[in-house]
Amino acid sequence: MEEDALLGIGVFARRARLSQKALRLYGRQGLLPPDHVDPVTGYRYYRESRLGDARLIVRLRGLDMPLAQVAAVLAAAPAEAARLVAAYWDEVERRVAAQRELAAHLRIHLLGDEGMTDDMYEIGTREVAQQLVLVEQRHITPEELPRWIPAALGRLAPVAEAHGGVFGPPFVVYHGEVNEDGDGPVELCVPVDPAREGGLPAAHRIEPARVEAYTRITKAQTAYPQILSAYDAVYAWAAARGRAPAGSPREVYFADWAAIGAADPACDIALPLAE
Protein backbone atom coordinates (compact mmCIF):
# COMPACT_ATOMS: atom_id res chain seq x y z
CA MET A 1 0.00 0.00 0.00
CA GLU A 2 1.38 3.38 -1.01
CA GLU A 3 2.34 5.64 1.90
CA ASP A 4 0.20 8.77 2.40
CA ALA A 5 2.99 11.30 2.00
CA LEU A 6 3.21 14.50 4.01
CA LEU A 7 3.45 17.58 1.81
CA GLY A 8 4.77 20.94 2.92
CA ILE A 9 2.30 23.81 2.86
CA GLY A 10 3.81 25.29 -0.30
CA VAL A 11 3.57 22.05 -2.30
CA PHE A 12 0.12 21.23 -0.94
CA ALA A 13 -1.19 24.72 -1.69
CA ARG A 14 0.15 24.58 -5.25
CA ARG A 15 -1.35 21.16 -5.95
CA ALA A 16 -4.67 22.12 -4.34
CA ARG A 17 -4.77 25.42 -6.29
CA LEU A 18 -5.06 27.33 -3.03
CA SER A 19 -2.95 30.13 -1.63
CA GLN A 20 -1.03 29.52 1.58
CA LYS A 21 -3.01 32.38 3.12
CA ALA A 22 -6.26 30.56 2.29
CA LEU A 23 -4.90 27.33 3.75
CA ARG A 24 -4.08 29.07 7.01
CA LEU A 25 -7.58 30.61 7.09
CA TYR A 26 -9.22 27.23 6.47
CA GLY A 27 -7.02 25.75 9.19
CA ARG A 28 -8.20 28.35 11.71
CA GLN A 29 -11.81 27.68 10.66
CA GLY A 30 -11.37 23.95 11.19
CA LEU A 31 -12.09 23.19 7.53
CA LEU A 32 -8.64 21.97 6.61
CA PRO A 33 -6.31 21.83 9.62
CA PRO A 34 -2.73 20.66 8.98
CA ASP A 35 -1.86 17.05 9.75
CA HIS A 36 1.42 18.02 11.35
CA VAL A 37 2.97 21.26 12.58
CA ASP A 38 6.72 21.34 13.24
CA PRO A 39 7.04 22.31 16.92
CA VAL A 40 10.22 24.28 16.27
CA THR A 41 9.58 26.06 12.96
CA GLY A 42 5.76 26.09 13.00
CA TYR A 43 5.86 24.80 9.42
CA ARG A 44 2.65 23.04 8.35
CA TYR A 45 2.33 19.69 6.60
CA TYR A 46 -0.68 18.06 4.96
CA ARG A 47 -1.29 14.48 3.90
CA GLU A 48 -1.51 13.99 0.14
CA SER A 49 -4.85 12.18 0.53
CA ARG A 50 -6.45 15.44 1.67
CA LEU A 51 -5.99 17.10 -1.71
CA GLY A 52 -9.50 15.94 -2.65
CA ASP A 53 -11.05 17.90 0.20
CA ALA A 54 -8.88 20.91 -0.57
CA ARG A 55 -9.93 20.94 -4.23
CA LEU A 56 -13.58 20.53 -3.24
CA ILE A 57 -13.27 23.58 -1.00
CA VAL A 58 -11.87 25.54 -3.96
CA ARG A 59 -14.88 24.60 -6.09
CA LEU A 60 -17.42 25.30 -3.38
CA ARG A 61 -15.89 28.69 -2.71
CA GLY A 62 -16.14 29.26 -6.47
CA LEU A 63 -19.90 29.18 -5.87
CA ASP A 64 -19.45 31.82 -3.13
CA MET A 65 -20.61 29.25 -0.59
CA PRO A 66 -20.10 30.51 2.98
CA LEU A 67 -17.48 28.65 5.03
CA ALA A 68 -20.04 27.25 7.47
CA GLN A 69 -21.91 25.60 4.60
CA VAL A 70 -18.64 24.38 3.07
CA ALA A 71 -17.90 22.67 6.38
CA ALA A 72 -21.31 20.97 6.33
CA VAL A 73 -20.69 19.65 2.80
CA LEU A 74 -17.25 18.31 3.77
CA ALA A 75 -18.68 16.52 6.81
CA ALA A 76 -21.60 14.92 4.94
CA ALA A 77 -21.86 11.59 3.16
CA PRO A 78 -21.82 11.90 -0.67
CA ALA A 79 -25.60 11.85 -1.20
CA GLU A 80 -26.23 14.39 1.56
CA ALA A 81 -23.34 16.55 0.35
CA ALA A 82 -24.88 16.61 -3.13
CA ARG A 83 -28.26 17.59 -1.64
CA LEU A 84 -26.65 20.42 0.34
CA VAL A 85 -24.97 21.80 -2.78
CA ALA A 86 -28.25 21.62 -4.74
CA ALA A 87 -30.17 23.34 -1.93
CA TYR A 88 -27.55 26.08 -1.68
CA TRP A 89 -27.65 26.73 -5.43
CA ASP A 90 -31.47 26.80 -5.49
CA GLU A 91 -31.32 29.53 -2.86
CA VAL A 92 -28.72 31.46 -4.89
CA GLU A 93 -30.96 31.33 -7.96
CA ARG A 94 -33.97 32.54 -5.94
CA ARG A 95 -31.92 35.40 -4.53
CA VAL A 96 -30.56 36.41 -7.93
CA ALA A 97 -34.05 36.32 -9.45
CA ALA A 98 -35.33 38.59 -6.67
CA GLN A 99 -32.37 40.93 -7.08
CA ARG A 100 -32.95 41.08 -10.85
CA GLU A 101 -36.53 42.17 -10.26
CA LEU A 102 -35.44 44.66 -7.59
CA ALA A 103 -32.99 46.22 -10.07
CA ALA A 104 -35.80 46.50 -12.63
CA HIS A 105 -38.05 48.11 -10.02
CA LEU A 106 -35.36 50.62 -9.05
CA ARG A 107 -34.78 51.53 -12.69
CA ILE A 108 -38.51 52.20 -13.19
CA HIS A 109 -38.64 54.14 -9.92
CA LEU A 110 -35.67 56.32 -10.87
CA LEU A 111 -36.90 56.99 -14.41
CA GLY A 112 -40.46 57.77 -13.28
CA ASP A 113 -43.04 57.81 -16.11
CA GLU A 114 -40.26 57.32 -18.65
CA GLY A 115 -39.47 53.96 -17.05
CA MET A 116 -43.00 52.76 -17.72
CA THR A 117 -42.43 52.98 -21.49
CA ASP A 118 -40.49 49.69 -21.25
CA ASP A 119 -43.80 47.78 -21.47
CA MET A 120 -42.43 45.59 -18.71
CA TYR A 121 -45.97 44.59 -17.73
CA GLU A 122 -48.75 43.43 -20.02
CA ILE A 123 -52.07 44.84 -18.79
CA GLY A 124 -55.46 43.32 -19.58
CA THR A 125 -59.05 43.59 -18.34
CA ARG A 126 -61.56 40.95 -17.24
CA GLU A 127 -64.99 40.62 -15.70
CA VAL A 128 -65.30 38.97 -12.30
CA ALA A 129 -68.67 37.77 -11.01
CA GLN A 130 -69.98 38.52 -7.53
CA GLN A 131 -68.32 36.30 -4.91
CA LEU A 132 -69.02 35.12 -1.39
CA VAL A 133 -65.67 35.21 0.42
CA LEU A 134 -64.34 34.12 3.77
CA VAL A 135 -62.15 36.91 5.15
CA GLU A 136 -59.38 37.55 7.63
CA GLN A 137 -58.17 41.11 8.07
CA ARG A 138 -55.30 42.74 9.91
CA HIS A 139 -52.88 45.67 10.00
CA ILE A 140 -49.46 44.47 8.90
CA THR A 141 -45.92 45.42 7.83
CA PRO A 142 -44.24 44.43 4.53
CA GLU A 143 -41.95 42.07 6.45
CA GLU A 144 -44.89 40.25 8.05
CA LEU A 145 -46.91 39.81 4.85
CA PRO A 146 -45.07 36.76 3.41
CA ARG A 147 -45.72 34.85 6.64
CA TRP A 148 -49.25 36.06 7.30
CA ILE A 149 -50.73 35.29 3.87
CA PRO A 150 -50.05 31.50 3.93
CA ALA A 151 -50.90 31.32 7.64
CA ALA A 152 -54.27 33.03 7.12
CA LEU A 153 -54.96 30.86 4.08
CA GLY A 154 -54.19 27.82 6.23
CA ARG A 155 -56.91 28.94 8.65
CA LEU A 156 -59.58 29.77 6.06
CA ALA A 157 -59.06 27.06 3.43
CA PRO A 158 -60.23 24.19 5.71
CA VAL A 159 -63.39 26.17 6.52
CA ALA A 160 -64.04 26.60 2.81
CA GLU A 161 -63.46 22.89 2.13
CA ALA A 162 -65.95 21.99 4.84
CA HIS A 163 -68.61 24.22 3.23
CA GLY A 164 -68.57 23.21 -0.41
CA GLY A 165 -64.94 23.87 -1.33
CA VAL A 166 -62.89 26.82 -2.57
CA PHE A 167 -64.66 28.62 -5.44
CA GLY A 168 -61.75 30.37 -7.15
CA PRO A 169 -58.28 31.69 -6.40
CA PRO A 170 -57.73 33.34 -3.01
CA PHE A 171 -56.87 37.02 -3.16
CA VAL A 172 -55.48 39.70 -0.87
CA VAL A 173 -57.18 43.11 -0.83
CA TYR A 174 -55.15 46.15 0.23
CA HIS A 175 -57.53 48.61 1.88
CA GLY A 176 -54.55 50.81 2.74
CA GLU A 177 -50.92 51.00 1.66
CA VAL A 178 -48.48 48.52 3.15
CA ASN A 179 -45.01 50.07 3.12
CA GLU A 180 -42.56 51.82 5.41
CA ASP A 181 -45.28 54.33 6.38
CA GLY A 182 -48.51 52.32 6.20
CA ASP A 183 -49.85 49.04 7.59
CA GLY A 184 -53.01 48.47 5.57
CA PRO A 185 -55.36 47.05 6.67
CA VAL A 186 -55.03 43.98 4.48
CA GLU A 187 -57.74 41.37 3.91
CA LEU A 188 -57.29 37.78 2.75
CA CYS A 189 -60.34 36.53 0.84
CA VAL A 190 -61.16 32.89 0.05
CA PRO A 191 -64.12 32.45 -2.36
CA VAL A 192 -66.71 29.85 -1.34
CA ASP A 193 -69.99 28.46 -2.72
CA PRO A 194 -72.49 31.37 -2.65
CA ALA A 195 -75.26 28.86 -1.96
CA ARG A 196 -73.63 27.96 1.37
CA GLU A 197 -73.70 31.40 3.02
CA GLY A 198 -75.89 30.28 5.89
CA GLY A 199 -74.01 28.85 8.84
CA LEU A 200 -70.49 29.86 7.80
CA PRO A 201 -68.40 29.84 11.01
CA ALA A 202 -65.82 32.37 9.80
CA ALA A 203 -66.10 36.08 8.98
CA HIS A 204 -67.41 36.52 5.44
CA ARG A 205 -68.84 39.09 3.06
CA ILE A 206 -70.01 39.62 -0.52
CA GLU A 207 -67.39 40.85 -2.98
CA PRO A 208 -69.35 42.71 -5.71
CA ALA A 209 -69.07 41.92 -9.41
CA ARG A 210 -66.46 44.04 -11.11
CA VAL A 211 -64.38 44.77 -14.16
CA GLU A 212 -60.71 44.88 -13.26
CA ALA A 213 -57.42 45.73 -14.93
CA TYR A 214 -54.70 43.25 -14.11
CA THR A 215 -51.15 42.16 -14.86
CA ARG A 216 -49.60 38.77 -14.26
CA ILE A 217 -46.28 38.59 -12.40
CA THR A 218 -43.78 35.89 -11.50
CA LYS A 219 -42.96 34.59 -8.05
CA ALA A 220 -39.74 36.64 -8.03
CA GLN A 221 -41.67 39.80 -8.89
CA THR A 222 -43.89 39.43 -5.82
CA ALA A 223 -41.04 40.40 -3.49
CA TYR A 224 -41.24 43.79 -1.78
CA PRO A 225 -40.56 46.49 -2.95
CA GLN A 226 -40.36 45.35 -6.60
CA ILE A 227 -44.02 44.28 -6.54
CA LEU A 228 -44.87 47.99 -6.26
CA SER A 229 -43.79 48.46 -9.89
CA ALA A 230 -46.61 46.15 -11.00
CA TYR A 231 -49.12 48.18 -9.01
CA ASP A 232 -47.75 51.40 -10.51
CA ALA A 233 -48.07 49.91 -14.01
CA VAL A 234 -51.73 48.94 -13.52
CA TYR A 235 -52.63 52.35 -12.07
CA ALA A 236 -50.75 54.13 -14.89
CA TRP A 237 -52.53 52.01 -17.51
CA ALA A 238 -55.93 52.87 -16.04
CA ALA A 239 -55.12 56.59 -15.75
CA ALA A 240 -53.90 56.76 -19.36
CA ARG A 241 -57.31 55.42 -20.50
CA GLY A 242 -59.40 57.57 -18.20
CA ARG A 243 -60.51 54.57 -16.11
CA ALA A 244 -61.00 55.46 -12.45
CA PRO A 245 -60.45 52.86 -9.71
CA ALA A 246 -63.67 51.47 -8.20
CA GLY A 247 -62.19 49.61 -5.26
CA SER A 248 -59.04 48.56 -3.50
CA PRO A 249 -56.19 46.86 -5.40
CA ARG A 250 -55.58 43.19 -4.82
CA GLU A 251 -53.23 40.27 -5.43
CA VAL A 252 -54.86 37.13 -6.85
CA TYR A 253 -52.91 33.96 -6.01
CA PHE A 254 -53.77 31.30 -8.60
CA ALA A 255 -50.63 29.11 -8.42
CA ASP A 256 -49.40 26.43 -6.03
CA TRP A 257 -46.80 28.60 -4.29
CA ALA A 258 -44.66 25.74 -3.00
CA ALA A 259 -44.50 24.00 -6.38
CA ILE A 260 -43.47 26.91 -8.62
CA GLY A 261 -40.07 28.44 -9.33
CA ALA A 262 -38.97 32.06 -9.15
CA ALA A 263 -39.60 32.65 -12.87
CA ASP A 264 -43.05 31.01 -12.95
CA PRO A 265 -46.34 33.01 -13.08
CA ALA A 266 -47.63 33.27 -9.53
CA CYS A 267 -49.99 36.16 -9.00
CA ASP A 268 -52.18 38.78 -10.68
CA ILE A 269 -52.07 42.40 -9.56
CA ALA A 270 -55.63 43.62 -10.13
CA LEU A 271 -57.50 46.92 -9.81
CA PRO A 272 -61.33 47.21 -9.96
CA LEU A 273 -62.41 49.83 -12.48
CA ALA A 274 -65.39 52.18 -12.55
CA GLU A 275 -67.79 51.66 -15.45
Which of 56-60, 114-118, 137-141 has the least mean pLDDT?
114-118
Hey, which residues does 245 pair with through a beta bridge? 273
Stated pTM of the model: 0.67
Do both 177 and 53 map to the same domain? Answer: no
Do both 264 and 130 map to the same domain? Answer: yes
Residue 177 domain flag: yes
Residues ≥6 apart with Cβ < 8 Å to 34:
9, 27, 44, 45, 46
Do both 48 and 148 map to the same domain? Answer: no
For residues 197 and 193, which has the higher predicted lDDT (pLDDT)?
A: 193
Instruction: Give phi and psi for 32, each to the nearest 5.
Output: -145, 65
Pick the most confident of 39-43, 226-230, 268-272. 268-272
Final residue of a domain: which of 42, 75, 108?
75
For 211, the domain range is 123-273
Final residue of a domain: which of 75, 105, 136?
75
Residue 84 domain flag: no
The full DSSP string for 73-137 is HHHS-HHHHHHHHHHHHHHHHHHHHHHHHHHHHHHHHHHGGGGGGG--S-EEEEEE--EEEEEEE
**Sign of the torsion formed by the C-alpha atoms of 227, 228, 234 and 237:** negative
Final residue of a domain: which of 75, 100, 132?
75
Secondary structure letter of residue 259 according to DSSP? G
Res 81: pLDDT:
95
Do both 129 and 264 map to the same domain? Answer: yes
Residue 82 domain flag: no
Do both 154 and 70 map to the same domain? Answer: no
**116, pLDDT greater than 70:** no
* Closest to 227 in 3D by CA, of 216, 236, 239, 237: 216
Residue 130 domain flag: yes
Do both 71 and 128 map to the same domain? Answer: no
Confidence of residue 251 (pLDDT cuts 50, 70, 90): very high
- CB atoms near residue 151 (< 10 Å): 12
For residue 59, what is the domain's CATH number? 1.10.1660.10
Residue 209 domain flag: yes
For residue 227, what is the domain's CATH number? 3.20.80.10
Residue 106 domain flag: no
Rounded mean pLDDT of 47-68? 92
Residue 29 domain flag: yes
Rounded-to-integer distance, Cα 20 and Cα 24, Å:
6
Residue 102 domain flag: no
pLDDT over 90, % of the chain: 60
What stretches of the chain show up as alpha helix (H) in DSSP?
A: 9-16, 20-28, 51-62, 67-75, 78-111, 145-161, 227-240
Which residue type, as a one-letter code, is found at position 204? Answer: H
Q: How many residues does the chain have?
A: 275
pLDDT over 70, % of the chain: 96
The domain tally of the chain equals 2
pLDDT per residue as tens digits for the range 216-235? 999 988 988 888 889 989 99
Do both 65 and 136 map to the same domain? Answer: no
Do both 127 and 242 map to the same domain? Answer: yes
Confidence of residue 1 (pLDDT cuts 50, 70, 90): very low
